[in-house]
Amino acid sequence: MSNVLFYYNTRFGSFSNDILYETIESYFLEGKDVHILFCDLKKSSCHTNLNGNIVKCLFCRIGSKITLGRFSKKPHIHYIRETFNSNLDFPDKLSEYRNFTHNGINVGLGALSSYVSLTRNINENLTNEDKTLLKKLVITGIQSLNAFSELVESNTYEEIVFFNGRFSEVRSILEYCEKNSLNYKTIEFDTKEGFSKVKKLTFDNSLPHSKEVFKANYNLVKQNNDSEYFQRRLKGTYNGDKIYSDKFLKSDTEKYLKNPVIENNINIVYFMSSEDEIFALGDEWKTTNFIGNQYQNIEWLIDYYKNRKKINFIIRAHPNLSSLSFEYVGRHWKKIKYPNIFYIEPESTIDTYSLISVADLCIGFSSSVLVECSYYGKKTVLLGDSFFKNLDICEEPKNKEELIHLLEYLHITHETLDKRKENAIKYGELMLSSFGLDYNLFNWNLFMKTKPFPAHWFFK
């Protein structure tokens, strides 16, 4: 009988509980011997409990026991215990956690991902509170790693399975698998068809946000003449991302665009991304280019354009940055005195798509809005990292000289623009395509997106 090992991290409010539950049940039906690693830590910091609240930990442990009682067969249960007394010298800079190791295993990436995802703070200089949070997240990862490594060193597993793979409580396990050439699967859920039709995605020896997997799927997409994706984005009905179209006001947009300075000059529009999202993805994603990070790129472009009388540089902050006051949001750019430099704050009701229509050149660091710019026939420059990098959807300058040449001459041909529109359409078709599986044994869509508790606690 073949063995399967699951790391089961209970995440209340997530579809992951029920998807993992069905996956384990399916292995039972196949006659496999299932081992499950549960967390039994009493006050651990993790992606669902950043501060290590003891009550949340208790609730999570109780939840794991309830799940254990719902399986049709009894699995082999193993627990993560308090097994690590820290004497590590923890980093003082945030980015140093990308390569922070313990016993040769990277234990910093998961902590970095959870910390940035939850706080959205990418300030390099850590406060004492920041250091404490990151230290706790690292320790959780090490404790998970210790329990996991003991299991795989004393047992042979045909498959190793865990959810997502990039957060503090599990990333160190993934890093161990990578270093020791152990085959693993990560599980994620897909909401492209809406929260009432969630599907299960499985990735072999890969994180769900792998660019290589994305590119492979992109190459599988059949080329079409157009894609409904762009109309859905425009109308705010696309399920795969946050859409802000309902916040835009036509009156505010028209007033802004009728400004003679906008109407009569060349407009270079920079569409900001949520820089923290890229920072949190981990080592596969680059957070800087030949100039620096997104903030430094915008600073450089402001300096480049500040004395151009007939050229406007318009910075559109991503609406997902609303209510944030970190430096990388760039709110101080609103106070710039140069008459051709404009900053549109995240909360603005000015329509992003109207800005695309008046843009002579669209620039961004990683925002998917750039794909839409290429779809609408705009000259587009990608400066950072993204899923669509190297797919010939945008210009991708490799150094300052190439960037300056683009900015000075806007030389992109119509033939190139047509080809990039075709590639953008293919991207749009991929965004509408789901490679996920529907439920088979258990309807994990019960309770839909509210998911107060795992549905398998109440139904089988």
State pLDDT tens for residues 179-223. 999 999 999 999 888 888 899 999 999 999 899 999 999 999 988
Looking at every residue in the chain, the average pLDDT score rounds to 91
Structure tokens at 209: 């946000």
Residue 21 pLDDT greater than 90, yes or no: yes
Domain residue limits, the chain: 3-219+435-455, 228-432
Residue 119's closest CA among 333, 331, 328? Answer: 328
Rounded Cα gap, residues 406 and 291, in angstroms: 15
Find out whether 352 and 373 touch, Cβ atoms under 8 Å.
Answer: no
Which one-letter amino acid corresponds to residue 195?
F
pLDDT for residue 14: 84
Residue 245 pLDDT greater than 60, yes or no: no
Predicted confidence band of residue 114 (pLDDT cuts 50, 70, 90): very high
Residue 242 pLDDT greater than 80, yes or no: no
Residue 211's closest CA among 222, 219, 221? Answer: 219
Predicted confidence band of residue 246 (pLDDT cuts 50, 70, 90): low
Which one-letter amino acid corresponds to residue 177?
C
Q: What is the largest CA-CA distance in the chain?
A: 75
Pairing of strands 361-364, 266-271: parallel
Q: Which residues of 29-62 are buried (b: 16+ CB within 10 A; e: fewer)?
A: eeebbbbbbbbbbeebbbbbbbebeeebbeebbe
pLDDT for residue 9: 79
Non-local CB neighbours of 269 within 8 Å, separated by 6+ positions: 314, 316, 355, 356, 358, 359, 361, 362, 363
pLDDT for residue 258: 83
Residue 449 pLDDT greater than 70, yes or no: no
| Class of domain 228-432 (CATH, top level) | alpha beta
Q: What digits encode the pLDDT tens for the residues 253-284?
A: 888 888 888 888 999 999 999 999 988 887 77
Residue 11 pLDDT greater than 80, yes or no: no
pLDDT over 90 for what percent of the chain? Answer: 73
Query: What radius of gyration, in Å, describes the C-alpha atoms of the chain?
Result: 24
